């Protein structure tokens, strides 16, 4: 899952070497939180107009997690 998020974000940004992902332990509801960090210059590229790209990234991650029976949440920091 982490590799999927990194590959999606790296394809969107101008500085792919700045893309990092940290993963939290599952909370009491079993949700794993992925924190996506990109350079400040690329933040707009990852969020998109009115948050459309961020929403699409979250949808893809939820769909991939659902196939394996997991619950995930993506936060863009």
pLDDT confidence of residue 77:
87
Please name each of the domains of the chain with its CATH number: 2-76 (3.30.300.20)
Q: Is the pLDDT of residue 50 over 90?
A: yes
The pair of structure tokens assigned to 41 is: 């210059």
The pair of structure tokens assigned to 9 is: 């974000």
Mean of all residue pLDDT scores within the chain: 94
CA-angle at 34, arms to 6 and 8, nearest 5°: 25
Across 45-70, average pLDDT: 94
Chain centroid, CA 66 distance in Å = 15
Which among 32, 31, 61, 30 has a CA at the least distance from the CA of 46?
Answer: 61
- The pLDDT tens digits of the residues spanning 26-44 come to 999 999 999 999 999 999 9
The pair of structure tokens assigned to 23 is: 């993963």
Instruction: Note the pTM of the prediction, 2 decimals.
Output: 0.90
Give dist(CA 31, CA 10) in Å, integer: 24
């Amino acid at each position: 899952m982490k590799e999927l998020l990194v590959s999606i974000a790296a394809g969107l940004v101008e500085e792919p070497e700045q893309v990092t992902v940290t993963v939290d332990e599952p909370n009491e509801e079993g949700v794993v939180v992925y924190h996506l960090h990109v350079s400040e210059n690329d933040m707009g590229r990852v969020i998109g107009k009115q948050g459309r790209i961020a929403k699409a990234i979250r949808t893809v991650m939820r769909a991939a997690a659902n196939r394996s029976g997991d619950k995930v949440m993506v936060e863009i920091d």
